[in-house]
Chains A and B, each alone.
Chain A
Amino acid sequence: LASAFMAAAAEKSTKEKLLSTLDDIEVLSRELIEMLALSRTQKLPQPGEDTDILELLVQRDKEFQELMQTAVEQGEVHQEMQALEKEVEKRDSDIQQLQKQLKEAEHVLATAVYQAKEKLKSIEKARKGSISSEEIIKYAHRISASNAVCAPLNWVPGDPRRPYPTDLEMRSGILGNMSNMPTNGVNGHLPGDALAAGRLPDILTPQYPWQSADVSMGILPPHHGNDFGLEPPGHNKENEDDVEAMSTDSSSSSSDSD
């Protein structure tokens, strides 16, 4: 494109050519007329000069006609170019309009997809948390009947019953029979107390023993690698903002304290 431009610049434009041709014609016509005017009074200095000038004149006129034709053609081309440019402009604005609409549509769809995803998430969450009402009622009955969450109505200070497993209960379980448990009755209730008071500890009631396994036929605890010395996955709760944060603990003991 650059070289074509340079070539066009080197070549004279049609307008310049036309004007220079017109100048030539003017010059030649003037010479001819002067010569003819002179030939009235005196002989021609050079024979045949008038025919030369005439020939030149005719030639220039022919050139002029050709140039005019070229000019007309160029004018038509120019008009076509302008019409096409207008077309291009129109198409351009059409494309921009479509682009805008496309962007809007994309935005609307993205919002819809996002909301749908959120909805799916909450559906999943609800589904996960769904428990049959019958089970919940059963469980509520269990923990209420055993006085685990609601104190017995006749409870007075001195009653050994608690909302947690007492010393006696702890010692009577598997755990109690495995490892050493506190023998000083930390919560002040040695087995002798309850028996002396004539009240049997709740643990001896057969229903809902707290370490029951008969209902657990199918269930097993989650698998673990038996090495709690390693850092567990997931974030550390120490950094939750509703707890006054302390500096990280510095212990490095390796003993297993199961």
Chain B
Amino acid sequence: MSGFMETEEQARHRFQLELEFVQCLANPNYLNFLAQRGYLREKPFVNYLKYLLYWKEPEYAKFLKYPHCLHMLELLQYEHFRKELVNAQCTKFIDEQQILHWQHYSRKRTRLQQALAEQQQQHQPQAPSHGNTTSK
């Protein structure tokens, strides 16, 4: 273990690779791809997934554009989850749920805006009209 040396250049390149790879894990279709080709059954790969957990640390996490990948990474630590990913229906379901969750905040914001708009409409009739020509 101590025999492996890499230059700073190589380490930086490896950083890029691992940054990309860990974020790819946010894609359920990619996970299905990995599972069907048997990668998720290989011990070295499983060990690699455990190694990748360092992306949870704040000093690394700040580089992640797609934070969903961290949740997937955590789930991937469990053998049960890895086994289920072979099933395309399973990953399709995950994909759907993930997208719905992704829309959660925008839906919430839309609802809030609607509620706000309704509130303002309720107040509007109380205000005396100023003969505002722009409203026409």
Q: Measuring CB to CB, which residues of chain A are less than 8 angstroms from any residue of chain B? A: 129, 131, 135, 139, 142-143, 146, 148-153, 155, 162-166, 170, 173-175, 178, 182, 186-187, 208-213, 215-216, 219-222, 224-232, 234, 237-238, 240, 243-246, 248-249, 251-258
* Neighbouring B residues of A246 by C-beta, 8 Å: 79-80, 83
B35 to chain A, nearest CB (A): 12
Instruction: Report whether A163 and B83 are in contact in the complex, using a CB–CB cutoff of 8 Å.
Output: no
- B residues 26-79 with Cβ under 8 Å of A? 26-30, 32-33, 38-39, 41-48, 50-51, 54, 58-60, 62-69, 77-79
* Neighbouring B residues of A238 by C-beta, 8 Å: 78-79
Contact pattern, B 108-136, Cβ under 8 Å of A = 1, otherwise 0: 01100000000000000000000000000
Instruction: Report whether B1 and A227 are in contact in the complex, using a CB–CB cutoff of 8 Å.
Output: yes
Determine the residue in chain B with the shortest Cβ distance to A147: B102
Closest 7 CB pairs of A and B: A164-B26, A225-B1, A228-B44, A210-B65, A164-B27, A228-B47, A186-B29
Complex CA distance for A226 and B11, rounded to whole angstroms: 12
Complex CA distance for A216 and B77, rounded to whole angstroms: 27
> How many B residues touch the partner, as a band?
35 or more
B86 at the interface (CB under 8 A from A): no
* Neighbouring A residues of B67 by C-beta, 8 Å: 143, 148-149
Interface of B is mostly: helix
* Neighbouring A residues of B33 by C-beta, 8 Å: 182, 186
B114 to chain A, nearest CB (A): 12
Determine the residue in chain B with the shortest Cβ distance to A175: B20
Instruction: Report whether B103 and A155 are in contact in the complex, using a CB–CB cutoff of 8 Å.
Output: yes
Looking at the complex, which one of A139, A208, A213, A255 makes contact with B15 (CB distance below 8 Å)?
A213
Q: Measuring CB to CB, which residues of chain B are less than 8 angstroms from any residue of chain A? A: 1-4, 8, 11-21, 23-24, 26-30, 32-33, 38-39, 41-48, 50-51, 54, 58-60, 62-69, 77-80, 83, 95, 98-99, 102-103, 105-106, 109-110
Determine the residue in chain A with the shortest Cβ distance to B44: A228
* Neighbouring A residues of B45 by C-beta, 8 Å: 228, 257
Determine the residue in chain A with the shortest Cβ distance to B54: A222
Task: Pick from A151, A212, A234 the residue with the most CB of B within 10 Å.
Answer: A151
Looking at the complex, which one of A151, A220, A222 makes contact with B106 (CB distance below 8 Å)?
A151
Complex CA distance for A65 and B14, rounded to whole angstroms: 112
Instruction: Report whether A149 and B102 are in contact in the complex, using a CB–CB cutoff of 8 Å.
Output: yes
Looking at the complex, which one of B8, B26, B105 makes contact with A220 (CB distance below 8 Å)?
B8
Determine the residue in chain B with the shortest Cβ distance to A253: B42
* Neighbouring A residues of B80 by C-beta, 8 Å: 243-246
Given A139-B62, A256-B44, decide whether A174 and B20 contact each other with a Cβ distance below 8 A.
yes
Determine the residue in chain A with the shortest Cβ distance to B75: A243
* Neighbouring A residues of B21 by C-beta, 8 Å: 175
Determine the residue in chain B with the shortest Cβ distance to A164: B26
Looking at the complex, which one of B3, B30, B44, B103 makes contact with A186 (CB distance below 8 Å)?
B30
* Neighbouring B residues of A211 by C-beta, 8 Å: 16, 19-20, 23
Instruction: Report whether B44 and A232 are in contact in the complex, using a CB–CB cutoff of 8 Å.
Output: no
Instruction: Report whether A187 and B105 are in contact in the complex, using a CB–CB cutoff of 8 Å.
Output: no
Looking at the complex, which one of A163, A174, A227, A243 makes contact with B68 (CB distance below 8 Å)?
A163
Complex CA distance for A126 and B75, rounded to whole angstroms: 26
Complex CA distance for A213 and B9, rounded to whole angstroms: 12
Looking at the complex, which one of A135, A139, A187, A231 makes contact with B47 (CB distance below 8 Å)?
A231
